[in-house]
Amino acid sequence: MIAYRILSDDDFDSLHECFLLAFSDYEVDMRVSREQFRQRLTRDGVRLDLTAAAFDGERMIGFCLNGLGQWQGKTTAYDGGMAIIPGHRGRGIAKELLQFVEVKLKEKGVHQYLLEVLTSNVPAATLYRNHGFVETRRLAVLRSSTPMGGSKDFSVKRIEQPDWQLFRTFWDGYPSWQNSIDAVDRVANERTILGAFVNDECVGYGVTFVPTANLMQLAVSPKHRRKGVGSAILASLETAEPLKINNIDEDLKGALAFYEYNGYKQVLAQYEMIKTL
């Protein structure tokens, strides 16, 4: 008989082990060390006291990671990953786990539930739609095979404290949960922020999540675009290997063209979905 329960800190190692096994055949490489897994949970705002797992006897066979925060002005839970290990799929466990989680979130007064799911993962997307989730955006996943090593004609230097009031004026859209302002602030010790400056004026910035080389944000002042500012920031953020760029809004055609110009190609797409609880 499959049992479901909310986790505690004592379950962390079992959760990490289950995470690696459950995502071992996923389209995206999800392998992370124990410390990288902890850093990922911190970035996503995941709380173990909101995270649920499925157990076959004593063995954890599936999980639903849940973060908590504000999204579009509402108290929101974020599904940071739900998966079932091979050999236990196709038995309705994911459906029951999701039902269990939603009851717990409602008890906590959560107003809505947010997630991303690969468009190619038809069974998962169907499960979420059947549970009342609706698509809000399509998000692009980009990769490059080699570092760009491009021009650095602008003064690019490290920024310790982000000026979000200024940075927001550079945006054409808004970042996903994993790349949001709150996410950047949650990983203050694991992030790098670089700014491009013209006559001491910051005209663009970029943020990376260092443990997994993920680009979290990159934006340039509208009046300084198409001058190499963004490319200079991107080149400075890259080290020995290209960055991982996840969840770029597909409606931001200019951003996608910029990354393509700098050697990044779209390899996958995700639905961003949300449900009112």
Q: In angstroms, rounded to a whole number, what is the distance separating the alpha carbons of residues 227 and 176?
A: 26
State both tokens at 174.
Answer: 């808004």
Amino acid at 156: V
Amino acid at 263: G
User: Parallel, antiparallel, or unpaired: how do β-strands 134-143 and 155-158 relate?
Assistant: unpaired
pTM of the full predicted structure?
0.94
Domain total for the chain?
2
- The answer on 180 and 97 residing in a single domain is no
Show Cβ contacts of residue 147 under 8 Å, excluding neighbours closer than 6 positions. 235, 238, 239, 240, 241, 242
Q: In angstroms, rounded to a whole number, what is the distance separating the alpha carbons of residues 199 and 220?
A: 15
Q: In angstroms, rounded to a whole number, what is the distance separating the alpha carbons of residues 135 and 133?
A: 7
Q: SS3 of 25, please? A: coil
Per-residue pLDDT of the chain (277 residues; tens, 9 = 90+): 999 999 999 999 999 999 999 999 988 888 999 999 999 999 999 999 999 999 999 999 999 999 999 999 999 999 999 999 999 999 999 999 999 999 999 999 999 999 999 999 999 999 999 999 999 999 999 999 876 655 556 799 999 999 999 999 999 999 999 999 999 999 999 999 999 999 999 999 999 999 999 999 999 999 999 999 999 999 999 977 789 999 999 999 999 999 999 999 999 999 999 999 9
- The answer on 154 and 84 residing in a single domain is no
Give the range of the structural domain holding residue 106, as residue numbers without chain letter. Answer: 2-110
Q: Is residue 133 part of a domain?
A: no
Say which CATH number the domain at 183 has: 3.40.630.30
- The answer on 173 and 101 residing in a single domain is no
Exposed / middle / buried, residue 45 (Cβ in 10 Å: 0-12, 13-18, 19+): buried
Question: Cα-flanking dihedrals φ and ψ of residue 257, to 5°?
Answer: -65, -40
